[in-house]
Amino acid sequence: MWTMNVARCDHSPGRPAIGWYFHLPFCTTKCGYCDFYSLPTIPALTDGLTHALLAELSLRDPGRPVETIFVGGGTPTVLPAEALGTILRRIARRAGQVAEFTVEANPSSTDELKLDLLRGCGVNRVSFGAQSFDPAELAVLERIHDPRHIFESVAAARAAGFNNINLDLIYAIPGQTVESWRNTLRRAIDLGAEHLSCYALMYEPGTSLTRLRHQGRVIPSEENTEAEMFDCTIDILTAAGFEHYEISNFARPGRRCRANIIYWENREYLGIGPSAVSYLDGVRRRNVPDVRRYVEAMTSDETPTRTSSITTPPQGTSRSLLPSLQSDPCAAIIHEQEQLSPIERAGETAVQMLRLTDGVSYDRFRTITGHDAAALFADRAAEFARLGLLNADNRGFRLTRRGLLVANRVMQEFLADVPTRQSS
């Protein structure tokens, strides 16, 4: 087996900082609404995955300063303490000091010992998948925890020293009323969480909840009810002192999620693990969504040179990428790879930044993309401003509260203005 060097990398301070994302795909059970790549915890794969993650990081670390680390899944905290501790300590050692180090956790798989472990490994932010404080709603979502676990987990996190806690919450759950959603928000506020992510339930293809919907066994919330829930979310949380800084995200002052801001500004990040996505040097790539194939490829004796025999490139690979693909020591785990042109990157950046309530800042957009957003999107911005969906001034443009309700439509229209990629 190939032996990796896990010593701390000397990240060049002269280059822009990036985010690191690690995907640990194990879960106790699959929630009914979840379409992320995950599978039940398999003890036989734990050691192999630990080694494979660290091997990929060692091979792919671009030597850039690291601003944020986010460990998600799956549910990272279902891993045995020894394996999770090994992964987190190696990540922290290689990255050095970072501004934000988040680990996702399930209230039912997180106790004081696990939270003490996280803090001891340098984690300074924990994100709990609470989803609801109503037992019936949790049952619809096929969550395995109950409201008591949420209170206990947050209390344990405070005892471990965490002062930056996020709760994920879901609204528009079948059978949920506006009043029960208000109660969930009030309980989250009372718990003192510094950050709340509030998402409308999505019926993703292939999920058990979508199958139940097609069978008529669950009835989605009415569109007007969902809109009312969205409005009351903004009203209740801003009245409680939260900043509404992204369509679905609310933070106490100074507690905005820095990892997500990297994504929403379309800045660069490195994704490690099965199904993880990276965006570096204009190339977006996704790792194979198969933990067994991933572990086998990354722990093989041939890992550093195994790309020499690859004849079929990953789906979506541009011909201009083939030379770099052939020399990529991790090519065997690439599932999809795409080279974005500068103008495509600019278009995607505008769409992502529209998710932020600050919107598209002309200065910030130019710094990130090198393009002039006013010139690229003047007509479209004027059109949506006339419709009351956008506010525009000499600093940039941003969605109005009404525009936030139809954000997907607005973003699609903006992306349609961007020239398509020329054939390579």
Residue-wise pLDDT for 316-373, tens only, equals 444 445 444 556 889 999 999 999 999 999 999 999 999 999 999 999 999 999 999 9
**Per-residue pLDDT, 77:** 94
**Contact at 8 Å (CB) between 270 and 22?**
no
Superfamily of domain 18-264: Aldolase class I (3.20.20.70)
**Per-residue pLDDT, 218:** 87
As a whole number of angstroms, the distance between CA 211 and CA 193 comes to 34
**Per-residue pLDDT, 424:** 32
**Per-residue pLDDT, 38:** 80
**Per-residue pLDDT, 420:** 57
Q: How many helices (H) and strands (E) does the chain have?
A: 16, 17
Mapping DSSP to helix (H, G, I), strand (E, B) and coil, where does residue 132 land?
A: coil
Q: Which of 45, 10, 19 is nearest to 274 (CA)?
A: 45
**pTM exceeds 0.85 for this model:** yes
In the beta sheet, which residues pair with residue 19? Answer: 68, 269
Angle, helices 81-95 vs 43-60, to 10°: value is: 0
Distances, alpha carbon 233 to alpha carbons 188, 189, 226, 401, in Å = 12, 12, 11, 12
Neighbours of 128 (CB within 10 A): 23
Domain ranges of the chain: 18-264, 360-416
Spans in the chain with pLDDT lower than 50:
1-9, 303-313, 316-320, 322-324, 421-424
Residue type, 128: F
* Residue 314 DSSP code: P
**Per-residue pLDDT, 14:** 66
**Per-residue pLDDT, 231:** 97
As a whole number of angstroms, the distance between CA 130 and CA 138 comes to 9
**Per-residue pLDDT, 164:** 99
Burial 101-111 (b: 16+ CB within 10 A, else e): bbbbbbbbbbe
Q: Which of 163, 222, 223 is nearest to 405 (CA)?
A: 223
Q: Provide DSSP, 86-129.
A: HHHHHHHHHH-S-SEEEEEE-GGG--HHHHHHHHHTT--EEEEE
As a whole number of angstroms, the distance between CA 158 and CA 171 comes to 26
